[in-house]
Amino acid sequence: MAVSPDYKSYLEDLFEPLPGVMFKGMFKGMFGGLGIFHDGAMFGLVAYEQLYFKVDKQTEPRFAEAGSEPFIYEGKGRKVQMSYWTAPDAAMDDPEEFEIWARLGIEAARRADAAKQPKKPRRKKA
């Protein structure tokens, strides 16, 4: 799942003009691919030279209508579908379209983080 330096550079160029999205510290190596973060929330994934954005019930239909496909991997002998879908082709060719789709990913990641239950503090042993 390694990401080539050329593809990573291409992504840097795509993300650079987005207001509110910082490239520094945004990419984090994960599983040989890359996780893309905004304010600590993972909103993107890069695997096999393909960019995926986070989706949820609100945004998944838009990605499906645009011809995107879900990220699926094989784990423990079965296929697992994650809540990340490919960036639409139009987004990869047009910076304004790219920003729209990236922001949909950011919004889905924020909603997912907000829905998580806060962790209970550990009890101190006496």
What residues does each domain of the chain span? 5-115
pTM for this one? 0.83
pLDDT above 90 covers a percentage of the chain that reads 47
How high is the mean pLDDT of the chain?
85
User: To 5 degrees, how large is the angle CA 80–CA 3–CA 68?
Assistant: 50
Is the CB of residue 83 less than 8 Å from the CB of residue 61?
no
pLDDT attached to residue 25:
45
d(CA 7, CA 13): 10
pLDDT attached to residue 23:
46
d(CA 13, CA 107): 21
| Statement: residue 102 has pLDDT above 90 | yes
Average pLDDT of 35-60?
Answer: 91
d(CA 92, CA 46): 13
- Please state which architecture CATH assigns to domain 5-115: 2-Layer Sandwich (3.30)
